[in-house]
Amino acid sequence: MKALAGRPEDLRDLEALRDVIALTSVDRALEIVARYVPARLLTPRVQYVLEGLFDEGEGG
């Protein structure tokens, strides 16, 4: 749900979740989100939010 909302406070939470569960790729993050979110809600924006978690230079 944090990835769907993508608000600034959600981004901080997503970074913490990424670190706690040791996510290392956008693909794995998308797999996890897709497990719990209906496909119709998986917009390009959700992918963009998740990609931001793994951009070098963004602290991740």
Residue 49: count other Cβ atoms within 10 Å of its Cβ: 21
The number of folded domains in the chain is 1
pLDDT tens profile 25-39: 999 999 999 999 999
Residue 6 within any structural domain of the chain: yes
pLDDT value at residue 55: 86
Domain that holds residue 37: 2-52
pLDDT value at residue 23: 95
Write down the pTM of the prediction: 0.81
Residues of the chain with pLDDT under 50: 57-60
Residue 57 within any structural domain of the chain: no
Residue 59 within any structural domain of the chain: no
